[in-house]
Amino acid sequence: MTHTDQRTGLTLLRPGDVGYDDELAAFQLGFVQRPDAIAPARTAEDVATAVRYAAERGLPVGVQATGHGLPGGYEGGLLVTTKRLDGITVDPEARTVRVRAGVRWGQVVRAAEPYGLAPLNGSAPGVGAVSYTLGGGLGILAREFGYAADHVRWLELVTADGTLRRVTPDSDPDLYWALLGAGQNLGIVTELEIGLVPVRTLYGGSLAFDGRTVDPAAALRAYEAWTRTVPDGLTSSFAAVPYPDVPALPPHLRGTYVVSVRVAHTGPGGADIVAPLREIGPVLSDSLREMPYAESHTIHSDPDFPHAYYGDSAVLRELDVERSGELLRRTGPAADLMCVVQVNHLGGALARPAPNAVPYREGRFLVRVLTVGDRKRARTVLDPVFALLADDTLGRSLNFAFGAGDRGAGLYDAETRKRLARVKETHDPANLFRRNYGVSPC
């Protein structure tokens, strides 16, 4: 059952309606979303109508596409779902793609492949392309090409007054700057155009080691030293995952502690560059190979099924290998909760200035820790773990707040935060879009 607002024609789902819970279904299962009403949008005009409806009634507005990056539980207000805003248009001559708000990165990869082009997507093909880009977009080729946000040509969004507008660096440089890095804090983006890169193939995959026979801290030290030798065209990460001994896992993973290095490189000599990593120890598995870009999701093989998770991140000036080794000990098999640790090598094109609000470009590493427990238990593990890194921490990453995005501290440096607040005051003074990650009107 749905309800239709007689004046606006807006279709709404309310608690108790058939379809309400299905509409809320998301990839992140760890948080309860209970808005007063849901507006399923099929067009940009549907989004505009929903925003006007909420503004007239003083209802806070949230937005959900795939539900990978939910900042936390959502109670009350109006939730606009954009998963039906589907549509991709590739311009192979201009090397651009127009992407609507419900599109996932796997769809964009497939659409660009026939032209020998690739988007600057992340590791998981099921993530929403638009929401990922609004948070910056740290992709598998990030050190070579920068953040996905750095390549956006224009955005179409509905602002707090219910107006659908196109924003470019020339038409509204402040709003353009703020949208790319501040998520959905200033409106609901319904479509954007982003540049593609001429990549057909890459050298990539994973080298995995058994953390029970190879010292994880020593492996991390070797990885950090290796990153100082690699070219900007090589993007990589280090991961440590203790797998539980449960029947649901493949036999070779049950009860193991896997440490691995994941690599993506589009230039020549990839195998030679990676060779020093093999000295870490006996290899548990090796998937490194030349591959079509369409297979790049296999580098990380992220889970593709909905599940509950909670975590946080820290952008670091440097990686203190001794403190990071202690981090691995506290998050390994003996931890109170299962933890997944990932260390991304930054720098390269990520350090280049760009006209957007993506902060901490001087960072050299990003550390992410994800847990599968509830929020309160997770914080008892995460808080002391990130305290170990505090001396080298610049801040946190919005896209990798892992359900902690409701805690705004550290998501932006002081100057970026002040500028975002000024843009917020101009375009949403009533704070209609209240999932604001700590950026409120002045």
Residue 440 pLDDT level (bands cut at 50, 70, 90): very low
Tell whether the model's pLDDT for residue 89 goes beyond 90. Answer: yes
- What's the full length of the chain, in residues? 442
Residue 26, pLDDT score: 86
Q: Let me know if 113 is exposed, middle or buried by CB neighbors in 10 A (0-12, 13-18, 19+).
A: middle
User: Letter for the amino acid at 25?
Assistant: A
Residue 435, pLDDT score: 59
Helix (H) or strand (E) holding 289: strand 289-292
Tell whether the model's pLDDT for residue 147 goes beyond 50. Answer: yes
Which tokens is 151 given?
């390549």
User: Letter for the amino acid at 38?
Assistant: I
Contacting residues for 186 by C-beta, under 8 A, at least 6 apart: 157, 159, 175, 178, 179, 423, 424, 427, 428, 433
Q: State the CB neighbour count (10 A cutoff) for residue 377.
A: 14
Q: What is the pLDDT of residues 41-87, one digit of tens each?
A: 999 999 999 999 999 999 999 999 988 877 677 789 999 999 999 99
3-state secondary structure (DSSP) of residue 414 = helix
Euclidean distance between CA atoms 411 and 398, whole angstroms: 6
Q: What is the pLDDT of residues 389-426, one digit of tens each?
A: 999 999 999 999 887 655 778 999 999 999 999 999 99
Tell whether the model's pLDDT for residue 167 goes beyond 90. Answer: yes
User: Phi then psi for 312, rounded to 5 degrees?
Assistant: -160, -175
